[in-house]
């Protein structure tokens, strides 16, 4: 049963991707350089988004430091920073103060975040990062594959949430899709039992959303590519509203 409490975080990285494709040297502070991620964020909020998500990558291929600061100052909902476990980005997170940080694996060659974070394999390096974020009053989520070992390690690390990587499910066909769905359901139950809030994201679109909202214990979805793509055709507010209707239908 889809439930009405699922909130939507809109990932606006691709707005900056479009801007950077033309104005590579531009910062988010230059309103001549369009499109402006802050304006996109405000439109998403008007339409009912519960939060704005950005990934400040080490290579700054889309969102720039100045975008992150302007979003912090300009949005009225909550700011969720996706970041790799990098000391440089961590310092920026402390300075700017997003409500949430979602720790993700980051690989310079990838087009988008490819897999989940290996919490188990990187426990030792992740622990001080999680501790320092929590001490700064920032809530921590771990972007992980729907794998029980990863869920348990995220809980041991002291994270508040996991964001379950839905990519394998949305890309699978037939029997493989059923298996991936079972993995997501089991991971969601395990996360809940371990006291973790359950978020989900990656590859979610206007078709697969009907299935995704059936994930147990789901509290927040983070959706980027499909909403930004639709917004080019129908506008950001309409694109967000249409997704929210499907989430709450
Ligand atoms: N959640 C996380 C942790 C991500 O890295 C991404 C991609 O930036 C998303 C959600 C959004 O994925 P998509 O753009 O496929 O909706």
Averaged over 150-164, what is the pLDDT? 98
Averaged over 100-128, what is the pLDDT? 88
Range of the domain at 29: 7-247
pLDDT at 114 over 80: no
> 151, 162 in Cβ contact below 8 A?
yes
The number of the ligand 1 atom at minimal distance from the alpha carbon of 222 is 10
Structural domain contains residue 2: no
Q: How far apart are CA 35 and CA 19, in angstroms?
A: 6
Q: Check residues 226 and 106 and name the one with the higher pLDDT.
A: 226
Token reading at 72: 């912090």
pLDDT at 31 over 80: no
Q: What is the pLDDT of residues 76-103, one digit of tens each?
A: 999 999 999 999 999 999 999 999 999 9
SS3 204: coil
Structural domain contains residue 78: yes
- Determine the number of helices (DSSP H) and then strands (DSSP E) in the chain: 11, 8
Q: Return the best residue to mutate from 201, 206, 207 for the ligand 1 pocket (most ligand atoms within 8 A of CB).
A: 201
pLDDT at 28 over 60: no
Q: How many domains does the chain have?
A: 1
Ligand 1 in contact with 222 (CB < 6 A)?
yes
Q: What is the pLDDT of residue 244?
A: 98
Q: What is the pLDDT of residue 26?
A: 54
Whether 45 is catalytic is no
Q: What is the pLDDT of residue 214?
A: 98
Expressed in angstroms and rounded, the spacing between residue 172 Cα and the centre of ligand 1 is 17
Whether 82 is catalytic is yes
Residue 25's pLDDT band, with cuts at 50, 70 and 90, is: low
The number of the ligand 1 atom at minimal distance from the alpha carbon of 102 is 3
Whether 217 is catalytic is no
Ligand 1 in contact with 165 (CB < 6 A)?
no
Q: What is the pLDDT of residue 96?
A: 98
Q: What is the pLDDT of residue 56?
A: 97
> 105, 116 in Cβ contact below 8 A?
yes
Q: How far apart are CA 160 and CA 154, in angstroms?
A: 9
Specify the CATH number for the domain of residue 36. 3.20.20.70
Q: Would you say how long the chain is, in residues?
A: 249
Angstrom CA distances, 111 to 61, 105, 107, 171, 216, stand at 10, 13, 9, 16, 29
Q: What is the pLDDT of residue 175?
A: 87
Token reading at 158: 């002291």
From the candidates 14, 62, 165, 202, give the one annotated as an active-site residue. 202
Q: What is the pLDDT of residue 110?
A: 67
Q: What is the pLDDT of residue 174?
A: 87
């Amino acid at each position: 049963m889809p439930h009405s409490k699922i909130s939507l975080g809109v990932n606006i990285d691709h707005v900056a991707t479009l801007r950077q494709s033309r104005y590579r040297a531009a910062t988010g502070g230059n309103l001549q350089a369009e499109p402006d991620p802050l304006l996109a964020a405000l439109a998403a909020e008007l339409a009912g988004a519960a939060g704005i998500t950005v990934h400040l990558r080490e290579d700054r291929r889309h969102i720039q430091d100045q975008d992150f600061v302007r979003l912090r100052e300009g949005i009225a909902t909550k700011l969720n920073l996706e970041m790799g476990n990098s000391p440089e980005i961590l310092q920026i997170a402390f300075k700017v103060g997003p409500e949430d940080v979602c720790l993700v694996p980051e690989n310079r060659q990838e087009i988008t975040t490819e897999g989940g974070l290996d919490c188990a394999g990187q426990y030792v390096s992740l622990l001080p990062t999680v501790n320092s974020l929590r001490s700064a009053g920032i809530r921590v989520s771990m972007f992980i594959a729907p794998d029980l070992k990863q869920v348990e390690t995220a809980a041991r690390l002291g994270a508040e949430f996991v964001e379950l990587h839905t990519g394998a499910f949305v890309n699978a066909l037939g029997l493989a899709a059923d298996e991936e769905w079972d993995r997501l359901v089991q991971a969601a139950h395990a996360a809940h039992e371990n006291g973790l809030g359950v978020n989900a994201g990656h590859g979610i679109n206007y078709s697969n959303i009907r299935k995704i909202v059936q994930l147990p214990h789901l509290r927040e979805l983070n959706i980027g590519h499909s909403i930004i793509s639709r917004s080019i055709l129908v506008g950001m507010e309409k694109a967000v509203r249409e997704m929210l209707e499907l989430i709450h239908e």
